[in-house]
Amino acid sequence: MQFLVLGYDGKDDDAINRRLAARDDHLNQAKQFVEAGQWLYAAAILDEEDKMVGSMIVCDFPSRKDLDKQWLNNEPYISGKVWQNVVVTKAAVPPFILDK
C-alpha cells in the first residue's frame, strides 16, 4: 500500500538547526528504505527563499501500522522535533512508475 507522507518543520528560529542536526541520520535511514524498495520518491519542501521547511515522501508499506512501526516511530526528524506536523495519506502510484 502506498502512502504520501508530508512532514512540516517547525516555524521557530531554531527549526533549521534541528533539521541540520538530524539530517545525516534521516538520510542514512532514507537510503535503507530506498534500497529496500519502501521509499519510492522523496524531496525536501522549500519555501520561496529555497530554505528547507519540510519533506515529502511517497512510500510503500503493507499497512499504516507497518509504516508507523517500521519507519515513523524511529524517524530522526520526529525524534529530533524537526517535523512539527506530519500528514499521512493513502496514495496510489501508477504501475509504470513501480515497474522502473
Q: What is the pLDDT of residue 43?
A: 97
The count of structural domains within the chain is: 1
Domain CATH code at residue 11: 3.30.70.1060
CA 3 remoteness from chain centre: 11
pLDDT by residue, tens only, the chain of 100 residues: 999 999 999 999 999 999 999 999 999 999 999 999 999 999 999 999 999 999 999 999 999 999 999 999 999 999 999 999 999 999 999 988 777 6
Give φ, ψ of 51 to 5 degrees. -90, 135
The full 3-state SS of 19-75, as one line of letters, equals HHHHHHHHHHHHHHHHHCCCEEEEEEEECCCCCEEEEEEEEECCCHHHHHHHCHHHC
What length does the chain have? 100
Q: Which residue range forms the structural domain that includes residue 19?
A: 2-98
